[in-house]
Structure 1
Amino acid sequence: MQTATIKGRGSLSNKTPRFEALQREAVDDDWAPGEPGDAPRRPTTVAVEQAKSIISHNSSPDIYFDQSINPYRGCEHGCVYCYARPTHAYLNLSPGLDFETRLYAKQNAAELLRKELSSPSYVPKLIALGANTDPYQPIERRLRITGAILAVLEEFNHPVAITTKSASVTQDLDLLARMASKGLARVFMSIGSLDGDIARTLEPRASAPGARMQAIRKLSEAGIPTGVIVAPVIPALNDCDIEKILFGARDAGAQDAAYNVLRLPLEVADLFREWLLRHYPLRAAHVMNLVRQMRSGKEYDSDFRTRMRGSGAYAELIRQRFRRACAQAGLNQRRTLLRTDLFVRAQAPQPARRQAAERRSPPYRAAAPRVAEASPQLTLF
């Protein structure tokens, strides 16, 4: 098992996917270069994917949306606790290092979205961006697939809610401001800790906590309804920051707030325990004991009623602290409801008209087609 720190990565290992019959085990042979305790850096590779559909649907009773779009599979932010990690096993890849280093970009996302929204049978409902992997992870700066998706949503006057850990969301500030002026957009910034040391290892390639607070300020000043999600709340590690995050976000202009406690489904439990033993060995047993207290004695409980907030005395304490802090900060006083009555079903342009439209469109709409000209696999870092 690889337990050495890998610079810029959250995972410490690359365990075999759960569907594989054969298991691989890493062994340290003392030949790796670098500082003691550090492992060799792994590059990020991005494979271009031609998706067959782009809007995902869910019927989970504890989620406020039933439609979402994920422009990327895998996430370079490398958050070791990410509940989306187990999905990489369906690609025959590891939920560990593979999840944050072997990414897939849905190059035709905007084109598919235009087609699905143009269908006569489509009924407009809120679409969430960032439900699984972050739409503004570092590769978005180059590929601009999320930007292309937003351009299509703006054209159709379709409501969108974004959740991200990246200050890069401000690169689409003008577009989001236009949509927000019509009641079509809001953004939630996820901040789990204000401690830079924790954030650097827990979420190694996500924006620093201070940069996320500044992004909330910029979004709010642009008239975009903005909120903060305190997530994940990890007992005895970052739960001391709940009030600080809420009041800091309020001062930056946030209107809404939510929180989620740590979730450890499937392979995520082992990955988090590895991280905890490596970075906070003296707290590890205490943290995991409190996690089990919030999960009826287990490390994870998938029950829809409790998976987001937990259960038991400690979970109730977190809930009361959050509610009281929100009341004192004046958060969640009014909820911004996004509009669906402005939806316009645009006609798909003919090939010649499409080319003319692309020439007139802003950079974020022209960026996605350029990905198709690249090689099927790109090494970025």
Structure 2
Amino acid sequence: MEQLINQRVKDIEISGIRKFFNMVSHIDDLISFTIGQPDFPTPEHVKKAGIAAIEQNFTSYTHNAGTIELREAACNFVNKKYGLSYKPESEVIVTAGASEAIDIAFRTILVEGSEVILPGPIYPGYEPIIKMMGATPVHVDIRENQFRFTLEMIKPFITEKTRCIVLPYPSNPTGVSLSESELREIAEYLKNKDIFILADEIYSELTYDQPHKSIASFLKGQTIVINGLSKSHSMTGWRIGFLFAPEVISRHILKVHQYNISCATSIAQKAAFAAVTKGIDDALVMKKEYLKRREFVYKRLTAMGLDAVKPDGAFYFFVKIPEPIQLNSFDFALKLVQETKVAVVPGSAFSEYGEGYFRLSFACSMETLEIGLNRIEHYIKSSI
């Protein structure tokens, strides 16, 4: 029966992040710097709200877009944090994580033959959906621009087929973000062009050197903002995301969402309400600790002579493999596991433009970071 499977589905693969993680996760005493999973527990008041939802039998379908109280709270959250203004009745959809939000956005706006411009390297969750829609991902090599996806880099790739530009900031895997002036420049150029912006801002609460700024501040009418609680409130398993867009766009995305999952989990929505109201600043405690870790890891990596751009946000370093080590990124990561029991993600998981790098997550304790980095340093010194 396999010959009857949709060819576009057969042509895509499991994420390189998960593929490598699944390959090595069984190893005893492994130190893993792989999955983008906060090492903090979900805040107590959020967990209690979820428990209360179960005890109060709040276990039925909600409105397709989510409960109105959560939509109001989510709109208040992005307004207070980022100055964005959306109508809770019609311009926000509560989704099953940011991943579903990306999926339904692409399935709504893309058509056969259209093109989507993305930076490279980039998180692997966009390209498969683009391809399943019969559209073409167009990667822009940003490695020589300190991983900054600026207008100057974007302009040469815009064609009459361009339907969408993906701006994932702060970035996974590089942690790099864009400044307000860089975003404004992109917005001014794209204004009134028939091109959507997909602004994936899931790491917006984890920025270190400057406040997060959304391109929707300058180009709301063409922008679909993706956000959620997985990273900001350590709620990865609760699967709550938010999609913000003008009503003329969101009302069509809502149809796709409705036929996809009907609604986000009612219990998780109650927990999410607590997160964006009582817990509006829950990320600050985590961010303070991540900042310490960032400084520690950067100091260690540079002391090893490794080339890494200090991240503006998120909790990743994207590190260049030293040239004397004649291995591709997958073989490097595999050998690192075999010889040191430290797991990182091969850069090739983040498009062809990630080859020659590896991603290191610092979403783990200082003790774990120190042990793992000591092992990496020993491996690097013995291999060069």
TM-score, reference length from structure 1: 0.29
Structure with larger RCO (C-alpha < 8 A, sep 6+)? 2
Q: Which has the higher helix share?
A: 2
